[in-house]
């Protein structure tokens, strides 16, 4: 029952709750948020970037969120504010508040006798809550989740269907964890002996801070001895892999399919582009931006933007680039040869 819109708001109510300057009828009814292109009557839209300004002319929205300097960009009812994108986010939270399921443990859930489930928490059908696990106030555990022994989920967190939290792991407050996420599986630790691999028990935990969102099918391994730590406010997209003993600094975001190998420390307020891969045992500074699909093989000690991807090209053109790249060694030799000849001919002439 997520995402269904709850009730209509009047424009005046929205401004009262979220601030901003209203130009137009405060009594106008708003049902939902929509893009300029797809909006119709009853919809509130927004202009987050001047490149979308042409869409403003044709929108059928009932009202628009604008930056203060766009005051005269339309004659529609409008809300002027400092940051229309942030305002849109907050208005969408208001208009599309999630329905909360009724608190209580579903009769088809299994909760071990010594687990603690807050009275205001919801546990869906098919869930298993292990011994001594603790679910805080207003926690929602959707259908089919498993919370291991002694694991804890703090207040106001929501786990969507089929999330697994391994024993002893911790999830902070207000977390949003999507389906298929696995928190606290064993890190990849093995000692080689005579051509075989001996498993190293992974005895640390995965510890997730407050206000963290984790996308579908992302995996965060438990630590080998010490903990794997995701700090407050971190946002992880889908299918991200976080190896054991990694620490991700507060308010860092990672787009989908990022892979972070074991024992790496990523700073605070970093932005990691989709499908970037970061090798193990390195430290990345605060405020680092890594471009999508970049491979990081060394520490990054200074804030800044880092990249490492070759853009694709039509097949034949690319084949030529690859051939040239392979021929670089020969090329360097030819240049050296030319330099030698020219230097000789120069000397001869002198």
Residues in 150-189 that interact with a copy of itself by CB under 8 A:
150, 160-162, 164, 166-168, 176, 178-180, 182, 185-186, 188-189
CA atoms within 13 A on the CB side of 62: 18
Residue 308 found at the interface with a copy of itself (CB under 8 A):
yes
Region 28-47 residues binding a copy of itself, contact defined as CB under 8 A? 32-35, 38
**Which residue out of 58, 244, 251, 281 is catalytically annotated?**
244
Q: What are the tokens at 272? A: 């990691």
Residue 304 found at the interface with a copy of itself (CB under 8 A):
yes
Residue 106 found at the interface with a copy of itself (CB under 8 A):
yes
The region of 9-17, 18-26, 54-62, 324-332 touching a copy of itself under the rule CB under 8 A is: 324-332
Residue 197's DSSP bridge partners are 192
Residue 24 found at the interface with a copy of itself (CB under 8 A):
no
Q: Which is nearer to a copy of itself, 26 or 330 (CB)?
A: 330
Q: How many CB atoms sit inside 10 A of residue 12's CB?
A: 14
Residue 288: CB minimum distance to a copy of itself, A: 10
Residue 98: CB minimum distance to a copy of itself, A: 8
Task: Please confirm, yes or no, whether 244 is among the known catalytic residues.
Answer: yes
Smallest CA-to-CA distance from 219 within 271, 265, 169, 268 is with 169
Q: Which is nearer to a copy of itself, 26 or 308 (CB)?
A: 308
Phi-psi map region of 52: left, alpha, beta (phi>0 left; psi -120 to 50 alpha): alpha
**Euclidean distance between CA atoms 250 and 277, whole angstroms:** 19
Query: How far from 239 is each of 4, 147, 184, 244, 272, CA to CA, in Å?
Result: 26, 20, 15, 16, 14
Residue 217: CB minimum distance to a copy of itself, A: 5
DSSP class of 181 = -
Smallest CA-to-CA distance from 77 within 110, 39, 106, 111 is with 39
Q: Which is nearer to a copy of itself, 27 or 195 (CB)?
A: 195
Active site residues: 244
């Amino acid at each position: 029952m997520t995402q269904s819109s709850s009730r209509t708001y009047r424009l005046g109510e929205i401004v009262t709750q979220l601030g901003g300057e209203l130009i137009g009828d405060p009594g106008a009814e708003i049902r939902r948020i929509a893009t300029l292109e797809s909006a119709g009557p009853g919809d509130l839209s927004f202009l987050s970037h001047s490149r979308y300004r042409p869409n403003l002319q044709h929108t059928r929205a009932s009202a628009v969120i604008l930056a203060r300097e766009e005051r005269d960009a339309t004659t529609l009812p409008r809300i002027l504010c400092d940051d229309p994108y942030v305002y849109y986010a907050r208005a969408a939270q208001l208009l599309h508040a999630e329905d909360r399921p009724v608190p209580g443990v579903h009769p088809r859930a299994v909760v071990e006798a010594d687990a603690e489930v807050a009275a205001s928490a919801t546990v869906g059908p098919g869930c298993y809550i292990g011994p001594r696990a603790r679910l805080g106030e207003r926690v929602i555990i959707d259908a089919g989740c498993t919370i291991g022994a002694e694991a804890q989920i703090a207040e106001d967190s929501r786990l969507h269907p089929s999330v697994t939290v391994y024993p002893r792991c911790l999830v902070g407050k207000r977390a949003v964890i999507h389906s298929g996420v696995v928190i606290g599986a064993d890190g990849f630790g093995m000692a080689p002996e005579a051509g075989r691999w001996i498993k190293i028990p992974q005895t640390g935990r995965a510890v997730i801070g407050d206000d963290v969102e984790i996308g579908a099918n992302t995996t965060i391994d438990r630590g080998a001895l010490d903990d794997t730590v995701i700090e407050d406010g971190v946002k992880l997209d889908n299918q991200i892999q976080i190896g054991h003993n990694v620490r991700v600094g507060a308010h860092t975001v990672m787009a989908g399919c990022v892979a972070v190998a074991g024992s790496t420390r990523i700073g605070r307020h970093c932005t990691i582009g989709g499908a970037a891969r970061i090798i193990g045992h390195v430290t990345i500074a605060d405020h680092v931006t890594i471009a999508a699909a970049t491979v990081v093989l060394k520490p990054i000690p200074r804030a800044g933007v880092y990249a490492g991807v070759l853009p694709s090209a039509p097949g034949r053109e690319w084949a030529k680039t690859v051939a040239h790249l392979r021929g670089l060694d020969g090329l360097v030799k030819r240049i050296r040869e030319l330099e030698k000849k020219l230097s000789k001919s120069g000397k001869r002439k002198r």
